[in-house]
Structure 1
């Protein structure tokens, strides 16, 4: 459990799009989609205390601190809660940035969701309370699904959430990012999938089949924008014990799943021999319990 008051350590888990189907472009220029989202044991850590100044303070550390925009979703989330619910004192926040930035892993959304969970708790609200979901949706399409960090489908522009998927199990996973720049706008411009009716949101597979055999409609356009993704996907899918390979979101992080930790670890060693310079995380997908998102002590990964 977190400490009382605004002194807390917060976990912000990375999200993965296990599947992503683009249904069509909306009149407002956004796209309707349906995506099965899960969360990894990879995470950022936020340390929060009361600020000694009259304004919020954000300090960033960790392996990906240098690539982060200081006009950050965390501070926007604090301001949004302050505007909607009031009574939020100035906060001093240290972000230990372990999730790669602009990588299809929702790191910025996860960070914003983490601070929203804390502020919701401070005001006696559940993380999924309608006022918090409304604030989250106004800040970014991936933030609502990150509030609980549990496997579920998101729909529409990403802000419509299905109930949590029952039966989701832990999956050993290998995540790889080649460091390619993949602008989301360029990926959608390249998207050549057929436009479907926006009401066609049916999912043809069961949960296990969707996890292991689903598709990402943004994968082919992302490879067209950043060709170095293609060899990564092919190498991952050919590793011993790999259960396919897929892109998360619009990339550039690719992932594959395994039946056992030992199979994942052996595959990670083989992959590293081919691509020693690429970022890699050998971990697992999991559902996060509410209390595990508020640890008593910092839990830095990476």
Structure 2
């Protein structure tokens, strides 16, 4: 039997690092916005050879238990008391090490699909299991707009529906690890603040106010990325010059997103990026749905 599951990506429209803990991890306050595109497609074959096998459409991506999706499947099998004979294939669309949650999303999608099939764990146990795999994996079990605190593992869903403005995502086709981004964070940027900006951002999303959303984007990790990788500044500036209201890096980067007032302006911005940068330099994700998100 074969089943499929979509693995959504995410944007961080707001990311404030509030503290550095003695164990080296950072506490933060961040807004997660799930995106139905770009998305990976997870295929699970329950009639494979004994054990767990993970493959991918992307050459060089870790496979089997070296892939987080494989470790998620193993963790589920052990927690549920199941002897697995599963072959999992990942059709990769979400950029890798790009600040869009691709690996965590794949792991969350595998857990969601396995539990939908076997129904062996209640939701609270599934969430606890997801947390052992990574701080943001629980978010991807059932993605919805959320504010995360702690080290990114404490999620507070945003009440009601939000109406994001037209968004354009541009990946510069090179990876950046989260470890690099946090290691190069300027300590002077760490601390509480910008709560008013987050509240305005949430209000803009609820009201469908593109200008309010654009004016309140924030990412403490972006400053070091712009300094280290001039291409990111060039992409940001190109999108703003082409008509985007604002553009910023998501998460630990290096992917950028642009907030546009209309779909037509988004199309113009996407075209300008494609004209100025070769496809080997930047991948443009334009067709992000505009439907309200819960």
Task: Please state which band the TM-score falls in when normalised by the shorter chain.
Answer: 0.7 to 0.9
1 CA distance for matches of 2:256 and 2:52? 35
Equivalent residue, structure 1, for 2:288: 284
Q: Report what 2:52 is aligned to.
A: 56
Q: How does 1:4-19 map to 2 (within 5 A)?
A: 7-19=2-14
CA distance in 2, matches of 1:248, 1:125: 35
Q: 1:177 aligns with which of 148, 168, 171?
A: 171
**What are the equivalent positions in structure 2 for 1:1-302 lying under 5 Å apart?**
7-40=2-35, 41-61=37-57, 65-70=58-63, 71-87=66-82, 89-124=84-119, 129-192=123-186, 193-196=188-191, 202=195, 204=197, 205-206=199-200, 207-209=202-204, 211-212=213-214, 213-240=216-243, 242-277=244-279, 278-284=282-288
For 2:12 and 2:291, locate their aligned partners in 1 and report how far apart those are by CA, in whole Å.
Answer: 14
Q: Which moved more, 1:218-227 or 1:279-288?
A: 279-288
TM-score w.r.t. length of structure 2: 0.86
SS at match of 2:114: helix
Deviation of 1:88 after TM superposition, in Å, equals 5.3
- In structure 1, C-alpha distance between the alignment counterparts of 2:235 and 2:253, rounded to whole Å: 12
Equivalence for 1:297? none
Q: Which segments of 5 or more consecutive residues in structure 1 lack a partner in the other structure?
A: 1-5, 291-302
Which one scores higher on RCO, CA 8 angstroms, separation ≥ 6? Answer: 1
Shift of residue 181, structure 1, vs aligned partner = 3.7
CA RMSD of aligned residues (A): 2.4
Paired residues of 2:17 and 2:220 also in contact (CA < 8 A):
yes
Structure in which a larger fraction of residues adopt helix:
2
Q: In the alignment, is the contact (CA less than 8 A) between 1:145 and 1:154 conserved in 2?
A: no
Once residues 275 and 174 of structure 2 are traced to their aligned partners in structure 1, the CA distance between those partners, rounded to angstroms, is 19
Please report how far the alpha carbon of residue 223 of structure 1 lies from its aligned counterpart in structure 2 after TM superposition: 1.7
CA contact (8 A) 1:150 1:288 kept: no
CA contact (8 A) 2:44 2:89 kept: yes
Give the superposition deviation at 1:165: 3.9
What do residues 31-50 of structure 1 show as CA deviations (whole Å, max 9, x unaligned)? 00111011222100011111
Q: TM-score, normalised by structure 1?
A: 0.84
Displacement, 1:179? 2.2
